[in-house]
Amino acid sequence: MKLVVQIDVDNAEEVVKAHKGQLMGMFSDFMMSREKVKYRVERAIYDEMVNQLSKELPKALEHEFISAKIKFEIIDDKNYTVKEI
């Protein structure tokens, strides 16, 4: 069984402005297209979701006495990431 989460950020520029100090390393290019900014914001969201889920989901399952293998996948055309716990 799978759960698919899809995110389509509508306000990538505002996100960059709001998190300027935190995200400046990520956006080191002087000028980036809106599409590239959007991609990087969405990728950061997915990475953070995987990080949080990989920490919290096993704890929640263990609390319910559930033993399971969990695999997180971030699939896109530019970069493919799999994390198994």
Domain housing 38? 12-84
* 6 in any annotated domain: no
Nearest to 23 by CA among 1, 6, 48: 48
Model pLDDT for residues 34-48, shown as the tens digit of each residue: 788 888 888 888 889
* 7 in any annotated domain: no
- How many domains are contained in the chain? 1
* 3 in any annotated domain: no
pLDDT above 70 for 33: yes
Place of tokens 């263990």: 62
Residue 62 is encoded by which pair of tokens? Answer: 């263990």
Model pLDDT for residues 3-31, shown as the tens digit of each residue: 777 788 888 878 877 776 555 555 555 56
